[in-house]
Amino acid sequence: MSEPTDSTNSPLRMRRSTTAEQIKHLIMQRGLRPGDTIPTEAELCNDLGVSRSSVREAIRTLATLDIVEVRHGHGTVVGNMSLTPLVETLVFRGALTPGDDLEALREVIELRRVLDLAFTDAVVDAHKGKANPIIERLVTNMVERSNNNEPFLSDDRLFHSEMLSPVGNPLAVQLVAAFWDIHTAVLPKLDLALPDDMRQTAQAHSDLYWSAQRGDHEGYRHAVIAHYDPLVRMLQKQAKS
Amino acid sequence: MSEPTDSTNSPLRMRRSTTAEQIKHLIMQRGLRPGDTIPTEAELCNDLGVSRSSVREAIRTLATLDIVEVRHGHGTVVGNMSLTPLVETLVFRGALTPGDDLEALREVIELRRVLDLAFTDAVVDAHKGKANPIIERLVTNMVERSNNNEPFLSDDRLFHSEMLSPVGNPLAVQLVAAFWDIHTAVLPKLDLALPDDMRQTAQAHSDLYWSAQRGDHEGYRHAVIAHYDPLVRMLQKQAKS
DNA sequence: CTTCATTTGTTCGTATGTATC
DNA sequence: CGATACATACGAACAAATGAA
């Protein structure tokens, strides 16, 4: 039985935690908020008693998780802890599987649809009777663009965030935005975007807003179905081939 | 004056992409699957023409996203691209906000509840009329433990995964499991876990399964509500103070 | 069980690019 | 413009873990 290295030979090594965890601990201890600067690499080397490389790898880890944000030549600040790591992981997972990527896309789209349906009541109640100039402008813009066969990606993303925003769950807003990002990142690998489908999608956005605006839960649900219908049909067609 | 280390053996320097992206590209090119070994650090240094530090930071980035998995003294393999990065980010975000952490917990719990409700039809249809010995054992075990005031965390997590598993959306299963992890990681900061609540939660699990098993959609929805009811009440109580 | 090669983990020193003042 | 502070990159050396001979 080999003794597990009693570590008494390393005086300051009672830390089993990694450098990244120590930096996280430091952020919590000092009560730093997103945007606040964290100590420089050199300071962290002294404070934590580790080398520059270790500090850099730890910061790299935290930057990947969007827990910190590195600004070249300026310094490192606390990040806003977005869902970027989720997006990156799932986008790569979708891009990795060569023949099976539409299965990954199907799962993402189903989740988006299910989430939209799940928030139906909250969204409709939040928008009922309240005009929203921002969303109205987005909707008219999307419809117009679809008629000219122009894309409307950025409007699309903003629309869904704005619709979900007033329900009072920022995490949910971020999550659907993240799935939107994954969706649009994985999708271009497949050929689609037919003009008719684009027009149907734009119209569905319009129906979503106006259904919610007049408190029509059932109409909203139908609009959700119609919104994802072109994608579902496309996936079924691809699956047959 | 100082010559820029004329490493003539690496003439391809036109790459603007990061080292991490090059490694991702390499994984895709070779069609590597989770578990397959990727080249060693030394080999990557030669192949990509960068230093070992850069390779290590890139690998660290990919390991953070669970795109690769590093095994000390053995090598590095392709990871399974789980949702661990999402969990880590959100757990830290919840732990960071000192007085506002129950707001973060509320958002997570609302999302869990919404997701469970959103998959009601699929889950009920998938389990209707089909006995599931694994889940039945989990349920009886949880009820028994709750009567003895013993925790049943691992059973709880497995239960939700097993319930959602047959709907055929692995991504959804991973997502609810991830939110379960976030939930249980953020929760211990608050004092709770009353015996009555534990019994109600265990009973709700039982109701969830048996409702689905007999095809009772409405009963399933009520069980979902009851499942999160203790937490919702606790959050409201905490919010008042 | 021991030895040894392989591979990742850690550290140090140095040089370079970049943003701010 | 220069000076400073900072992140980025490189290379060499040694430590620790793993697995096979």
Distance A18 CA to D7 C1' (A): 22
Distance A73 CA to D1 C1' (A): 19
- Helix ranges (H only) for chain A are 19-29, 41-48, 52-64, 84-96, 101-118, 120-127, 133-147, 153-164, 170-186, 195-213, 217-240
Distance CA B165, CA B66 (A): 22
CB A62 within 8 A of CB A23: yes
With CB atoms and an 8 Å threshold, state whether B96 touches A111: no
With CB atoms and an 8 Å threshold, state whether B92 touches A171: no
Structure token digits, residue A192: 């689609």
Distance CA B187, CA A9 (A): 38
Give the nearest nucleotide to B51, CA to C1': D10
With CB atoms and an 8 Å threshold, state whether B60 touches A60: yes
Kind of pairing, strands A37-38 and A75-78?
A: antiparallel
Q: Is the pLDDT of residue B84 over 70?
A: yes
**Contacting residues for B79 by C-beta, under 8 A, at least 6 apart:** B34, B62, B63, B65, B66, B67, B68, B69
What DSSP state is assigned to residue A68?
E
With CB atoms and an 8 Å threshold, state whether B107 touches A66: no
Average of per-residue pLDDT values in chain B: 89
Residue B89: which of A85, A93, A110 has the nearest Cβ? A85
Angle at B111 between CA B98 and CA B200, to 5 degrees: 90
Partners of B37 in the β-ladder: B77
Distance CA B54, CA B47 (A): 13
pLDDT at B186: 86
Distance A75 CA to C17 C1' (A): 14
Distance CA A166, CA A149 (A): 31
Structure token digits, residue B170: 């692995």
Confirm or reject contact between A99 and chain B (CB < 8 A): no
Taking chain A (241 residues) in runs of 10, the rounded mean pLDDT of each run is 36 59 92 91 91 92 94 91 95 83 89 95 96 96 92 94 96 97 84 78 96 97 95 82 67
Structure token digits, residue B67: 């795109």
Residue B81: which of A53, A89, A171 has the nearest Cβ? A89
Angle at B182 between CA B96 and CA A80, to 5 degrees: 40
pLDDT at A102: 83
CB A53 within 8 A of CB B55: no
pLDDT at B132: 96
Shortest Cα distance from B141 to chain A (angstroms)?
A: 31
Spacing of C-alpha B100 from chain mean position: 23
CB A144 within 8 A of CB A198: no
pLDDT at A118: 94
pLDDT at A188: 76
Give helix B41-48 / helix B52-64 axis angle, nearest 10°: 110
pLDDT at B161: 97
Q: Which nucleotides of D are covered by protein (CB under 7 A)?
A: 5-13, 16-19
With CB atoms and an 8 Å threshold, state whether B104 touches A171: yes
pLDDT at B238: 76
> Which residue ranges have CB below 7 A from strand C?
A 18, 45, 49-54, 57, 72-74; B 2, 4, 40-42, 52-53, 56, 59, 70-76
Angle at B82 between CA B138 and CA B220, to 5 degrees: 35
> B74 beta carbon < 7 A from strand D?
yes
CA nearest to B58, candidates B19, B107, B17: B19
pTM for this model (two decimals): 0.90
How many Cβ pairs within 8 Å bridge chains A and B? Answer: 111
pLDDT at B237: 80
Distance CA A185, CA A57 (A): 28
pLDDT at B95: 85
Chain A 165-204, residues with CB within 8 Å of chain B CB atoms: 169-172, 175
pLDDT digit string (tens) for B105-164?
999 999 999 999 999 999 999 999 999 999 999 999 999 999 998 889 999 999 999 999
Shortest Cα distance from A59 to chain B (angstroms)?
A: 10
With CB atoms and an 8 Å threshold, state whether A169 touches B53: no
A80: number of Cβ within 10 Å? 14
Q: Is the pLDDT of residue B100 over 80?
A: no
Residue B89: which of A65, A95, A111 has the nearest Cβ? A65
